[in-house]
Amino acid sequence: MYTFSTKIKDLEGSAIRAVLKMAQGKDLITFAGGLPALETLPVDFINKTIDKALTENPGLALQYGVTDGYGVLVERLQEKVKKMGMSLKDNGVMVTSGGQQVIDLVARSILNEGDVVLCELPTFIGGLNVFKSYNAKVIGVPLEQDGIDLEALEKQLKENKVKLLYTIPTFHNPMGTTMSELKRKAILALAHKYDFLIIEDNPYGELRFQGEDVPTMKSLDAEGRVIYAGSFSKILSPGLRVGFAVAPKPVLEKMVVAKQVIDVHTTMLSQIVAAEFLAWDGYDSHIKNCCDLYGKKARLMSECIDKFLPEYITHTNPDGGIFMWCDINKDVDTKELLAKAVDLKVAYIPGYTFMIDTDKPCNSFRLNYSMPTEEDIIEGIKILGEVF
C-alpha cells in the first residue's frame, strides 16, 4: 500500500539513535551522546529574554517572520562573521533551523541525482544522509589527524566530476581533530583546479579549549566556493534550533527559496534569543566556561584512556569540541563489542555508524565527554578497559 520515494526508501535512520535507544532506561554511563552539558545551557538568560520578548513585542515574537532571518539577528551575525575574517562583499548571511538545515538547503539548491559528493571518512551521519536523500553519489575520503588525506582527495577528483565536498574542519565529529591551515589552503586550491564547491560545517568552532585558532575555510575563500554552516546548538541550546549560513549571494538566494518551501522561517522566539545572546554582556564568559569545562573533561578522559585501556587502543587529542575518536589496533568489531559494554553499563558509538559502507566491520569508536560527569568518565573508561 505504501510505496516510498526513491529519495527516502533506502535511507536508514541514524544508527546513533539506535544505540541511544538501546541505552535508554538502563542507567548507563553514556559516552554515546552529542549534546552540550546541561549545566552550560544559559537557562536564566533564555528565560528572561523570552519573557521580555513576549511582554514587550509579542507581534515580533509570535507573528510570521521573513525567510532569510530576523533582521537584528542577521545584522549581528554579519558583524560576527566579519570579525572571523569572512568577506561579505560577495557573500550573504541567512538564518536556518540549525546547522543541519544548511546542509539540506545547499544539497536542495545545487545537487541533481547522481552528482558526486565527497565527504570525509568518518563523517557526521546527518550530513551523509542529506546527500543520500538527494540520490547523490557519495564517496568517502579518509581523514588524517591534520585533515583530509590530500592524495586520496586528488585521486577522487581526477576520477570523478565532483560537485561538492562536505567537510568538518574544526573539532571534527566524530574525530575531534582539526584540519591544518596548510590543508585548508590546499583544498581551496584543488577546488579551483577541479571546480567544485565546499560545505564547511562548523558547529563546534567556538569551543576551543587549547591550541591556536585556525582560520575558517570561508575566511580563506577568495573565489566564492565555500558555503559556511554555523550553529547555536552547542553554545546556546540545540533545542532552540538556530543555525546560519554564509554563502555566495547567488547560492544564498536559492537557499532562501528552498527554505521557504521547507519551514517558511526559523521560529521567531528562538531567533530573538539567539540575537540577544550575541549581544549579551555575559557571552564571552559563557563561552569561556563551556571551553573550560570541556577542556577539563577532555583531559580527564584522555588520562583515563591512557591509564585504563590497553595500549593497543589509541585516541585523538582534540583542541576543542566534544568528541574523541579511538582506534583499537586489533582485528575487532566495535559494533559487536557494544552489547558487552552495554551489559556492563557503558555506551559508546561504534565507528561503523560514521561510514558510508556500514556493513564493513570497524575497529574504531567515538566517545563524547561533554555530557558525562567527571566521576562517570573515570568509572566508564575503567569499565571499557574490562570490555576491551
Ligand X SMILES: Cc1ncc(COP(=O)(O)O)c(C=O)c1O
Binding-site string for ligand X from residue 308 to residue 337, where x marks contact by CB under 6 A and - marks none:
------------------------------
Interaction pattern, residues 91-120, with ligand X; x per rule: CB under 6 A: -------xxx--------------------
Q: What are residue 117's phi and psi, to 5 degrees?
A: -120, 130
CB 271 within 8 A of CB 95: yes
CB of 312 to ligand X, least distance (A): 28
Query: Which residue's CB is nearer to ligand X, number 201 or number 221?
Result: 201
| Site membership for ligand X, residue 363 (CB under 6 A) | no
Length of the chain (residues): 388
Which of residues 228 and 308 has its CB atom nearest to ligand X in the complex? 228
**For ligand X, what does the binding mask look like between residues 11 and 50, x meaning CB under 6 A?**
-----------------------x----------------
- 92 CB-near residues (< 8 Å, 6+ apart): 68, 246, 247, 248, 249, 252
Euclidean distance between CA atoms 294 and 287, whole angstroms: 11
**Measured between alpha carbons, how far is 336 from 334 in angstroms, rounded to an integer?**
5
Omega within 30 of 0 (cis) for the link into 215: no
CA angle 79/82/244 to nearest 5° reads 70
Q: CB nearest ligand X: which residue?
A: 98
Of 31, 124, 325, 369, the one binding ligand X (CB under 6 A) is 124
Of residues 12 and 159, the one with the C-beta less far from ligand X: 12
Tell me the closest approach of the beta carbon of residue 330 to ligand X, in angstroms.
28
Residue that is written with C-alpha cell 554552516 in the block: 229
Q: Which is nearer to ligand X, 71 or 126 (CB)?
A: 126
168 binding ligand X? (CB under 6 A): yes
Query: Is 233 an interacting residue with respect to ligand X (CB under 6 A)?
Result: yes
Given 140, 169, 203, 380, the residue binding ligand X (CB under 6 A): 203
- Give Rg (Cα) of the chain: 21
Q: Does 236 bind ligand X (CB under 6 A)?
A: no
| Residue from 126, 215, 248, 385 binding ligand X (CB under 6 A) | 126
DSSP secondary structure string, 222-290? SSS-EEEEEESTTTT-STT--EEEEEEHHHHHHHHHHHHHHHSS--HHHHHHHHHHHH-TTHHHHHHHH
- Minimum distance of ligand X from residue 313's CB (angstroms): 23
Q: List the interface residues with ligand X, window 238-257 (CB under 6 A).
A: 238, 243
Is the Cβ of residue 238 or residue 318 nearer to ligand X in the bound state? 238
Identify which of residues 92 and 238 has a Cβ nearer to ligand X in the complex: 238
Cα 53 → chain centroid: 29
Size of the site for ligand X (CB under 6 A): 14
Q: State residue 314 phi and psi, 5-degree precision.
A: -110, 155
Q: Is 169 among the residues that bind ligand X (CB under 6 A)?
A: no
Q: How many CB atoms lie within 10 A of CB 213?
A: 13
**Complex with ligand X: residue 67 or 370, whichever CB lies closer:** 370
Tell me the per-residue interface mask from 172 to 191 with ligand X, x by CB under 6 A, - otherwise: -x------------------
116 strand-pairing partners: 137, 162
CB of 231 to ligand X, least distance (A): 3
From residue 113, give the alpha-carbon distance in Å to each of 30, 119, 124, 222: 38, 17, 21, 29
Q: How many CB atoms lie within 10 A of CB 155?
A: 12
Peptide bond into 122 cis (omega under 30): yes
Q: Which residues bind to ligand X, rule: CB under 6 A?
A: 34, 98-100, 124, 126, 168, 173, 201, 203, 231, 233, 238, 243
